[in-house]
Structure 1
Amino acid sequence: MLGLRFSILAICLVLSLQWIGPVDSKICQTHDNKTGTCQRVRDCPALKSISDKLINKIPLTNKEEILRNCVLPCEKQYTLCCEESLNPDGLKLLKENESICGSFGEPKDRTKYRPWTALLEYYDDLQHGRRFYCGGTLITSKFVLTAAQCIKDNLVSVRLGEFALGKTPDCLLLGNHTRCLDRPVDVPIEKVFVHEGFEENIKNVRVSNNIALIRLKDPVQFNDLIGPICLPVSPDLQLESQTVKSLDVFGWDLMMQLNGYIPRWPLYELLESTACNIQDEKKICIRNSESYRYRGDVGGALVYPSQYNGRQLLVQAGIVSVDIVERSDRSLTEGTDVSDFMGWITETIAKKD
């Protein structure tokens, strides 16, 4: 037994020496080459159970003993590499769209530039009608990803395939020709899933786990104007999404209620979390490089271009949040880090209830 333990420790030591963690990323690689995230012991289920047993002097199983000796430290103090398990059924649903997800046209062809952008529609009692207040992102034919802050009792439907709000139909002058687009689709909502850890405390200026999923009543048909975004499903994409230098945001400026005829595309710079004084590892800090007045539609996507599986595509790295923190630098704001929630996303979209 002593020889076996020595061999295990020796193997883990070699693996530790070979592993080089990314300087600016929370994504890491475990001793057995699986994707993980840098977490404190109390936030990692596998490591917390080992810690609890050690505290209570309960013997570990052979598997737990191996994990205890092999776990790799991250660069941030007091964090270790915790394996991030993705639900295989949910992952399969996302990978079904790998050949078409994240598609985009040339900037001049704006109608095809962001087919995954969604609008959340609410019933407005004061105006006795419906209004759009939040954005979202189509990730499969049945699910839209958004911010938990956007889930309200009066949320009634999701609009897909919209281009210019306030214009029916949407018609554009392309060269010497006028092109009118198909009408957008308003899809009723079947069920909403808010992250169980979501917490919004305006008094203490804290928003945690700001992520939600909307399951549509009927699956949508993909076309030039409606299609899914790519999510960081692989280790490479997860690492890339947390170390990329800039992010794009798409939206109609819904918070300003200006009717937002043409979607806007400001560029955001991804910064170290310390720039926004963020303590929550599941948030990202971003700076609007064009104008602090426009922050994107809450619940909308923060995306970046990537080369994956032989094609260029857009990957969603973050979710736009309502930033309730008063900052001296008003160009700074926070977003939700999508990579840190891939386990929750794949588990949720696989649910049958």
Structure 2
Amino acid sequence: MKINAAVIALLSCALMVDGEPTPISLLEADCGVSISGSSSQNSKIVNGWPADMFGNPWMALISSSVTCGGSLITNRFVLSAAHCRTNSHTVVYLGEFDRSTTTDCSNAGCMPNAIGIPVDAQIAHPSYIHLSQNDIALFRLATPVQYTAYIQPICLLTNYNPLNSIRHLTATGWGKTEFGLPSSILRTATLTQVDRSYCSGIYGNRVDMSHICAGDYNSHTCMGDSGGPISAVITINGRIRVAQFGIVSYGDSECRELGVYTNVMHHMNWIASVVRHGGPQVTQRPNYYYIQWYYI
């Protein structure tokens, strides 16, 4: 992730039906809250400062022949980009922060070792052909994960879409930094949402309501951030939470231009349907295991 500066959007969401407030529905009811507090991220992150170690318990590192980011949305499914799928053995690591260490510690304390769970299904959107359209996929964990203080799902809104009211979105990932190398430490960057026509002009692709066009002068996603969540801190049913609105899809090779992100809200019906039906049937489900050491 390139040099970044974060400004978190804090919004109050209220769904009104016949003049009466109606609770906002979530894919997973207990979501979007970390032990650091949902709004505790730094209000200004400069020169690639790391993310809050304890502030992103939904972050997933997808490891196969390629490395991508993702977000835990239920105890069985990780949301990512369709172009992150491969035919090779795939493992999702949860509860990770620093890929170069076994145990991650800060002045606030240490995290338990991350866990790796094999993936038994990689489910792309049925209309996905190329990353320019419908670049969204669900990675099903072979074994349901047990939620802890360090492994939690991010919120997905199923009956309300405040995206047009959100100017600043936060990207999180282990992608390339301004020094040209992938980051071992999870980092964040702020992206400012702009009119989709700007991205259409840059890339010559159709960038429509199924996308988000965003970036900033000092804030960009880069190679290795693909599949990671684009989120915002919002108030849902009176509680401050982190909700996901986008997925890192594509950008320019130098990571200096606006980026194109899959609009999660546009695909919520498909996401909910796959989660509800559980995806394809498999006959073998390997167990998850604890990381000893790795670096990708």
TM-score by length of 1: 0.62
Structure 1 segment 176-195 matched on structure 2, within 5 A: 179-195=109-125
Letter of the 2:262 counterpart: T
Question: Which of 113, 134, 138 in structure 2 is aligned with 1:209?
Answer: 134
Q: Offset of 1:288 from its aligned partner? A: 2.8
Residue of structure 2 aligned with 1:250, choices 154, 157, 172: 172
Q: CA deviation at 1:243?
A: 2.9
**How far apart are the structure 2 equivalents of 1:335 and 1:163?**
23
Does residue 110 (structure 1) correspond to residue 52 (structure 2)? The answer is yes
Partner of 2:45: none
Structure with greater Cα Rg: 1
**Aligned-partner residue type, residue 61 of structure 2:** L
Matches within 5 A, 1:200-279: 200=130, 207-235=132-160, 238=161, 240-253=162-175, 258-277=181-200, 278-279=206-207
Work out the CA distance in 2 between the residues paired with 1:110 and 1:293: 18
Deviations 1:254-274 (A, max 9, x none): 598835232211100011111
After TM superposition, the runs of 4+ consecutive aligned structure 1 residues lying more than 4 A away are: 254-257, 292-296
1:122 equivalent to 2:56? Answer no
**Aligned AA for 2:173?**
G
User: Taking every aligned residue pair, what percent have the same amino acid on both sides?
Assistant: 31
Is the 1:247–1:303 contact (alpha carbons within 8 Å) kept by the matching residues of 2?
A: yes
**What CA distance in whole angstroms lies between the structure 2 residues aligned with 1:288 and 1:223?**
34
Instruction: Find 2:93's aligned residue among 135, 144, 159.
Output: 159
- Which is richer in helix? 1
In the alignment of these two chains, the number of paired residues is 241
Q: CA deviation at 1:295?
A: 7.0
| Alignment check: 8 A CA contact 1:103 1:313 kept | yes
| Structure 1 unaligned spans of 5+ | 1-28, 34-90, 124-131, 201-205
1:148 and 2:82 matched: yes
User: Where does 1:1-353 land on structure 2 (aligned, <5 Å)?
Assistant: 95=27, 97-98=28-29, 100-104=30-34, 105=36, 106-107=40-41, 110-123=52-65, 133-174=67-108, 179-200=109-130, 207-235=132-160, 238=161, 240-253=162-175, 258-277=181-200, 278-292=206-220, 294=222, 297-323=225-251, 330-352=256-278, 353=281
Q: Which residue identity lines up with residue 116 of structure 2 in the other structure?
A: D
Q: Which has the higher contact order (CA 8 A, sep 6+)?
A: 2
SS in 2 for 1:192: strand
After superposition, give the CA deviation of every residue in 1:53-79 in whole Å (9 maximum; x if it has no partner).
xxxxxxxxxxxxxxxxxxxxxxxxxxx
Q: Secondary structure at the match of 1:348?
A: helix
Q: Report the Cα offset of residue 116 of structure 1.
A: 0.3
Compared with structure 1, are the counterparts of its residues 258 and 213 closer, same or farther at alpha carbon in structure 2 (3 Å cutoff)? same
**What TM-score does the superposition give when structure 2 sets the normalisation length?**
0.73
Quote the Cα distance in structure 2 between the aligned partners of 1:304 and 1:346. Answer: 20
- Distance in 1 between the 2:91 and 2:253 partners? 32
Partner amino acid, structure 1, of 2:167: K
- How far residue 326 of structure 1 moved from its aligned partner, in angstroms, is 7.4
The alignment partner of 1:320 has SS state of strand
Distance 1:326 1:262 in 2: 22
Distance change in 2, residues 1:254/1:326 (3 Å): closer
Moved more, 159-168 or 101-110: 101-110
